[in-house]
Amino acid sequence: MEVGYAAPVFGAGRFEVRGTLGAGGAGVVYRAFDRQLQREVAIKLLRQASGRDLYRFKREFRALADIVHPNLVTLHELHAADGDWYFTMELVEGVSFIDWVRPPRTTSGPQRTRADIAASPVNEARLRGALIQLVDALVALHRAGKLHRDLKPSNVLVTAQGRLALLDFGLVAGMAEGDPEKLAVGTPVYMSPEQAADQPLDEASDWYSVGCMVYEALTGKRPFEGDSEQVMTRKQTELPVSPASAGAPPDLVRLCMGLLQPVAHIRPNGMSILTQLGSGPSPTTRRISRSAPASNFVGRAEEIEELRRALADSHRRGVAMLVKARSGLGKSTLVRRFLRSLGDVVYTLEGRCFEREAVPFKMLDGVVDSLTAAIMTLTTENIATLVPKEIGALARLFPVMRRIPQFSEAVAASAVPPDPQEMRRRGFTALRGVISKLSRLKPVVIFVDDAHWGDFDSCVFLAEMIHNGEPGILVIVAHRPEDYLGVVALLKRSPGGSPRRGDVRDLEITPLSDTEALALVSQLAEDPSRAPQVVAAAGGNPLALTEMARTPGAAAGVKMEDLVRMRAQRLSPDCQAMLAVSAIAARPLSVEIAAHAAGVVGGHDEAATLSAERLATLRQVGGEMILHPAHDYVRTAVLGGLDTESKAGWHEAIARAFEAVQGPAQLDQTAVVEHWLAAGYPENAATHAVAAALKAEEALAFRRAAELYQIALTFGPWDAVGQRDLMSRKAHALVCAGSLDEAATLYGHAAQLLPDDESIDLERLRVEALLRRGRLDEALPAAERLLGLIGIRIPLNARASRTKLATQWMQMKLRGLDFTERDVTEIPPAKLLVTDVLYSVASGLAFADPTLGRVVQSELIRAALDAGEPVRVCLALAQEVGYAAAAGSRNRAAVEAVGARLMAVAKKLGAPHVIGFAQAAIGIAAHMQGRWKEAREQLEAGLAALRDHGAGVRWEIDTGDTYWLATLFYLGEWRELGRLTQLLLRDAIDRGDEVAQQSLRTGRSNNAWLLMGKPDEAAAQLAISMPTIGEGFHLQHVSAMVAATNIELYNDDVTAARKRLDEAWPHLERLGVLRLQQPRVELRSLRARVLLADPRADGSLREARALGDELIKEATPWAEGLGYLVRASSHAWVGDVDAGLTDLEAAEEALAGAGMQGYVQIVKLYRGRLEGGPGPTARAEAARDFLKDLGAMDPDAVAAYLMPWPG
């Protein structure tokens, strides 16, 4: 899409626009992410809402709203808001019909020439396959009573997998409706003679258009050429030259010429065309025609073959198969039959979700149990190869892994990071590694059943595994259409916006046909004469068919639920009680707990009876017998026979059974919470909810912990202190889950429960969350109020800030950095709180308003040194070294002095995470002064220490990562930059951390996609970040502006780049960033590049050369190198070769000294161009190859946007 600050907003923020797919006279189609459905969609927006356009627009949507066919694009929802009309639809990634059947010999632009199409040979196999799909789709459309009326190659897309999709139904009309519009609408080249003549239309009109497309596919030419009037006139009476002259296959020639007959009734119809192509209507098309299911169930041969094909394909790259079916259609049976057929040629890792089960990572719980069991069957040598480096974090996430002796022994030697988010990340990484290594022994199939009851935390893992597409792994996810929490949709997401390496497929299970149902019942029923009645009553549902067939005396028309209740009523009272408990629980229960709740002694005989009656499933897990309903139909039937009071009584009995049978340490707190709530005892539930939340936090399931804290808050009889404590705990869980907006709100609510002087720390946490989230419109006034509570007033404007800074600088110069070290117990808490408040505000403002942040930082350094608590002194010194470095390279001595003091204090403390924090801060300072090699060394060491040993330092890690990536950009390590940017972005998305995502999608990180030759992706990533940036003009806006301008330079949209930069420049001056060396150098270099990209504009070269001179005056190698390069380009544009070569030589020396190898190669490339001749040309080619090796996929394009050059 067009790069800009504001992407179109649809659905009150429900849709996240990611790019533009196309535009026409009246509409624009966007690529977007639907947050509600958790998948990418296409959005068609009506841009010019005349009455006729709106009529067509609505008709386009309504024409297909109720028609479902794999070769017709799926339309989702029609919306009208604020005068705009738009609808959402399936996103089809593909090429046009002609581009598919006559693929270009070489990569071409979006619009191929007629000569190129004619010169490209037809792929007959593709043509036949696509044609069968197109005809089948049209037959379905016609059987639904619709005509397309605008068939042409651009309205028929084919995906890379060969799936054809027919789209653009703006001219669809019903065959029987009176159309108030003129009928001669469409595309003249492809419309039928009768449509061109404004005559009534039927299916034959669409078949003529298909004939035009077939003709073009066979010959590379259209049937008739000329202006529209000539073409429409010739079609009335003429046939085109036969494709036989182009050597086309005879059968396709006959078909094509038949379709192009001027007389409509002579043309073949859809069924005839399919027959000529050696095919017939698909099951879906047959279903549309008779409104009855048509797919096969008995034997499930087609579905089993799909699964086998997926397993075979997974040997090359990972495959995920999402198996969807309504309750009772046999999705679980199908998959398990497939898995049994594989025997021991694969490792099967199986898990299942239950409605009321709320264990951490419940989609993975059974999978990891199966994984553990599989590993324990291996030899000692093989197990040793599977032990991951991060076994400690893995065992913390999934303690069951400790059952493997070698794993358990390795845990003791494995360091576990204290930061919960880092521990979770490492645990997931370790689990992926174990499964990956296991797949090298033999293929792995992961099967998650009933995923519609799944959880978000597990989805993070499975989505990443699906995205990675690790060879040798097949993931099968079975689910019902009701994706209650959106977890199934999340599995289809491509994290980080990067191309998915895995292959995601859908397999939908449909009901039995009458014939198949009759065959099944005939095999099962004792009285075959009942079969037609059973089939009529069961509606093609295999489970209902089976149960009715096996139940003697089941009346015709009886419902499945009634049938279950009839069978249950024949059981003993104890069996009925056990069945009721099992249905109410909606999760697997041990027989002991179920029996205790039901008031039954023992319970094992009753459980066995329920299993024999096919009303419950009984299995052994870890030495316990586990009972749960055999199917959802059983639950529904049992619950339907209970009144509200009875259900509440059973819930109470189950809650008490858990408490009685399980000890306090083993008590399933989450289960007890849900049952006490359903029983009508909210206070009991609230007490257990707190304990359950703590367990969830220990298991690193932070979102679940937040939900449980909310239950405790809602239902507990807490006083103000208790409410404040629970709000704080929930807010902390939300921070760990990356939900800073919610956390800030909750901290604010908690603070309101206390007087101002007691609420300061909660307000601090609120302001910190707002600043780190980038919500500056709310954060800045809140920060001002917070600072006022500790007696500090901040300046109201930039001039006052500079005046105060001068005073503070003089005071600090007199004071120095010495301090008297004090233990934390020796310092009044109020004094420590002041330091904490100042750190939270100063660290947040550093990336929002650096001038104001520097004022607060000066207060922080003085307060921390006066207090003397060494950890807080380190935090303050770390901030100080960064702010000092911002002044520029001339301040290097002061920066090194502060850095040395910081490192001395950190080393004296001896804590690895404090030393790491100091290293990261010194690395950031080195980066800000253009000392790239030192920056990388310090940042890598510091970030590694923070990840290994730091707790609650996610924001500090994310900040360090941003500078690390920027350092890689300047060092020219572009391949690594691309890899890490996408990796870190996926991690930030998984954590729900919008601030980290924003920094990775904007600024210098956005260069990663340009270097990979993906400007559209760079623009899409930037567009995603724009809604999160907020109001005003702060450093986030600077980063976005820089990224947008770079993209425009890459795309040679110089006018837009110059307009953007001109508009932003006054804001940059007011923000004060041009007084800081690094952003000043980057922004002046950017402005010079924009000017040099359009040297013909008045004064451009003169201003660019002046900017180059200013850069050279910065007296730091990286700025000097960029300055000389700017000057060299300005000389080259006017043909001053000698001056250009002189400045290029100076640029190369300076840039090499700064370690900027990418820029050095750009200089060499331009020197070769400027010098000319064989030798220089060869050197230029070598530089181009070097740039490719560094990771610049298109070296010339990269060089051109990083420094425009003539030619």
- Please give the model's pTM, rounded to 2 decimal places: 0.61
Most confident of 560-574, 601-615, 1058-1072: 1058-1072
Per-residue CA distances from 470 to 317, 438, 445 (Å):
6, 11, 12
1091 touches 1065 (CB < 8 A):
no
Distance CA 369, CA 431 (A): 12
pLDDT of residue 225: 87
Tell the burial category of 940 from Cβ atoms under 10 Å away from its Cβ (0-12, 13-18, 19+): middle
For the residues 346-350, what does the mean pLDDT come to?
A: 93
For the residues 929-939, what does the mean pLDDT come to?
A: 95
Q: Tell me how long the chain is.
A: 1207
pLDDT tens digits, 662-717: 877 788 888 999 999 999 999 999 999 999 999 888 877 888 899 999 999 999 99
The domain 559-661 is placed in CATH, from the list 2.120.10.30, 1.20.1260.10, 3.10.50.40, 1.10.10.10, at: 1.10.10.10
pLDDT tens digits, 424-466: 888 888 999 999 999 999 999 999 998 887 877 787 788 878 8
Annotated catalytic residue 150:
yes
pLDDT of residue 179: 44
pLDDT of residue 343: 83
1174 touches 1027 (CB < 8 A):
no
Instruction: pLDDT band for 794, please (50, 70, 90 cuts).
Output: confident
Instruction: Decide which of 1161 and 889 is more confident.
Output: 1161
Distance CA 137, CA 1135 (A): 61
Distance CA 472, CA 290 (A): 42
pLDDT tens digits, 839-855: 999 988 887 777 788 88
Residue 497 has pLDDT above 60, yes or no: no
For the residues 105-134, what does the mean pLDDT come to?
A: 85
Instruction: pLDDT band for 299, please (50, 70, 90 cuts).
Output: low
pLDDT of residue 3: 38
Distance CA 1169, CA 1136 (A): 13
Residue 622 has pLDDT above 60, yes or no: no
pLDDT of residue 854: 83
For the residues 274-285, what does the mean pLDDT come to?
A: 85
310 touches 319 (CB < 8 A):
yes
pLDDT tens digits, 364-399: 888 988 898 899 889 999 999 999 998 998 988 888
**Mean pLDDT over the full length of the chain:** 85
| Weakest-pLDDT range from 39-53, 377-391, 1029-1043 | 39-53
For the residues 397-406, what does the mean pLDDT come to?
A: 85
Residue 1058 has pLDDT above 80, yes or no: yes
Q: Name the CATH superfamily housing domain 298-508.
A: P-loop containing nucleotide triphosphate hydrolases (3.40.50.300)
For the residues 220-243, what does the mean pLDDT come to?
A: 89
Q: Which of 34, 99, 136, 150 is catalytic?
A: 150
pLDDT tens digits, 163-186: 999 987 655 555 444 443 444 456
Could you please report the per-residue DSSP string of 1075-1141?
GSHHHHHHHHHHHHHHHHHSTTSTTHHHHHHHHHHHHHHT-SHHHHHHHHHHHHHHHHHTT-HHHHH
Instruction: pLDDT band for 526, please (50, 70, 90 cuts).
Output: low
For the residues 817-826, what does the mean pLDDT come to?
A: 90
Give domain limits for the chain. 11-90, 126-147+154-165+178-290, 298-508, 511-558, 559-661, 759-969+987-999+1027-1032, 1076-1202
Among residues 113, 112, 155, the alpha carbon closest in space to that of 137 is found at: 155
Q: Name the CATH superfamily housing domain 11-90.
A: Phosphorylase Kinase; domain 1 (3.30.200.20)
Residue 59 has pLDDT above 70, yes or no: no
Instruction: pLDDT band for 1, please (50, 70, 90 cuts).
Output: very low
CATH topology of domain 759-969+987-999+1027-1032: 1.25.40
pLDDT of residue 228: 84
Answer yes or no: CATH 1.10.510.10 is held by domain 126-147+154-165+178-290. yes
